[in-house]
Structure 1
């Protein structure tokens, strides 16, 4: 039976801010949340990626750069080659290169966007601050490639271990609108955000989404999701839902005309 994973990623995992992995199995439109694991370093996630399939995972970081950015920089226009060029830079070189690109553009259109950003409502994958998704991709893509997993439409790998780009905010907005449900800053961990997490968990359990997937979990896991003011555990579960949904869709729910350089956010 296929295992499903949801991964809330960080480019600098620590004990305080680990990589969080939700895992479970699905049947008849219900995914049962079985585990929530926290990895304080990349080795922990590498071990998860190495486990034999079949599994499908939703990962909360970008898998590709905007075509406009790649072409403007004169980088190779194939996914593997562009990632070689990108991940071969240091983090500081990524910041400098992308900042120079933005500085040369007019106000209001500083960043290049992928085609998936519009329907997903996601930040440009080239952003290096607030949120630093480019740095997350810089750390995460090499882990996926080293593990030999399959990235549909982007890079071939073990078809029994499938990795998809997921964005928890896409599903959260569908369920609770624009209400904020998380913050890493203690001063912003308010009662309003606590209520939003409760509402979000309840909506997931009831399956009130266009995906038609309900989440089943123990009382202890439910309490843990609500209590986690950072939202990391909840974001991992949201990614898990996308992964479980993708299994019943043609081409894992990715569009047939997906740009093979940029990639696509599953469910967008």
Structure 2
């Protein structure tokens, strides 16, 4: 089974790329074969559509909170509101969320999905700081337009399966709250690199196999890239591939039957 782990950005460029770890899952062995980097959306989408089948874990919110969707009357299904958002420009989407927040009480300006609360994730409405709202805007409509099977929001018979994952969950399980990445060059430290090394050492250890029921094969060059990418994007793509592989081996991809399909679900070992 082909596995993609995707570390996403809402504004890909030469300085900040979409990073994809391409891997192959054979029973319990996950072989990371290569790291692909994309500076724009068209080449990324062309790459995804090149292979006949895969399961991809994407590091961006595939859905928005039900409360937001219903309050703004965006639609009754995931496909309806994602298609609606896809017709907006990015400035229009950002301004819509800015206006929505105005006048609302503290604590009720950026809603959380049920899955965000369980995973400790930030609101997918956030468009400043870590702009996961902009990532939703650029990612989810493209997944829908491509016809992929998007779980659990919009399952289809398409052999390309997309799930939402959260690499920081796995990193936190390994090294706790220690910071291991930064896009700001002035904040990148030796301690962060040691954190990335600790994560990679664990992923290549017997303890990882015992805990996750998977064995990771990654060559020294790719492991070095994970260690020496201070942004953490390379490592996050590999973590995304691992979470995706683990999820693919769970009943119903580890998604509870009572989850809110309008909002989506963060998959992976919590």
TM-score by length of 2: 0.94
> Is the aligned partner of 1:54 residue 2:53?
yes
4+ long deviations beyond 4 Å: none
Structure 1 gaps, min length 5? none
The Cα shift of 1:138 comes to: 0.8
The Cα shift of 1:53 comes to: 3.3
Structure-to-structure mapping, 1:150-169, within 5 angstroms: 150-169=149-168
C-alpha distance in structure 2 between counterparts of 1:92 and 1:40, whole Å: 21
1:93-138: CA deviations, max 9, x gaps?
Answer: 2222112222222123321110001111111111111211111111
1:203-231: CA deviations, max 9, x gaps?
Answer: 22221785333322111111111000011
> Is the aligned partner of 1:255 residue 2:256?
yes
C-alpha distance in structure 2 between counterparts of 1:213 and 1:99, whole Å: 43
Indicate the residue corresponding to 1:97 in structure 2: 96
Instruction: Return 230-239 or 94-103, whichever deviates more.
Output: 94-103
Instruction: Return 103-112 or 134-143, whichever deviates more.
Output: 103-112
Structure 2 gaps, min length 5? none
Indicate the residue corresponding to 1:70 in structure 2: 69
Instruction: Return 29-38 or 103-112, whichever deviates more.
Output: 103-112
Question: Partner of 1:127: helix, strand, or coil?
Answer: coil
Assess if the C-alpha contact under 8 Å between 1:116 and 1:265 holds in 2.
yes
Structure-to-structure mapping, 1:33-52, within 5 angstroms: 33-52=32-51
The Cα shift of 1:158 comes to: 4.2
Question: Partner of 1:199: helix, strand, or coil?
Answer: helix
1:11-39: CA deviations, max 9, x gaps?
Answer: 11111111100011123433111010101
Structure-to-structure mapping, 1:67-216, within 5 angstroms: 67-206=66-205, 207=208, 210-216=211-217
1:129-151: CA deviations, max 9, x gaps?
Answer: 12111111111112212322111
C-alpha distance in structure 2 between counterparts of 1:212 and 1:174, whole Å: 15
What is the Cα-based RMSD across aligned positions, in Å? 1.5
Assess if the C-alpha contact under 8 Å between 1:49 and 1:149 holds in 2.
no
Instruction: Return 180-189 or 203-212, whichever deviates more.
Output: 203-212
> Is the aligned partner of 1:266 residue 2:264?
no
Aligned pair count reads 267
Task: Quickly say closer, same or farther: Cα 1:17–1:136, change in 2 above 3 A.
Answer: same
Assess if the C-alpha contact under 8 Å between 2:17 and 2:37 holds in 1.
yes
1:31-77: CA deviations, max 9, x gaps?
Answer: 11101010111122112221233311100111011001111112212
Instruction: Return 75-84 or 157-166, whichever deviates more.
Output: 157-166
1:208-256: CA deviations, max 9, x gaps?
Answer: 7853333221111111110000111011111101111122111112111
C-alpha distance in structure 2 between counterparts of 1:40 and 1:48, whole Å: 12
C-alpha distance in structure 1 between counterparts of 2:215 and 2:187, whole Å: 29
Assess if the C-alpha contact under 8 Å between 2:7 and 2:58 holds in 1.
yes
The Cα shift of 1:200 comes to: 0.9
C-alpha distance in structure 2 between counterparts of 1:182 and 1:112, whole Å: 26
Indicate the residue corresponding to 1:24 in structure 2: 23
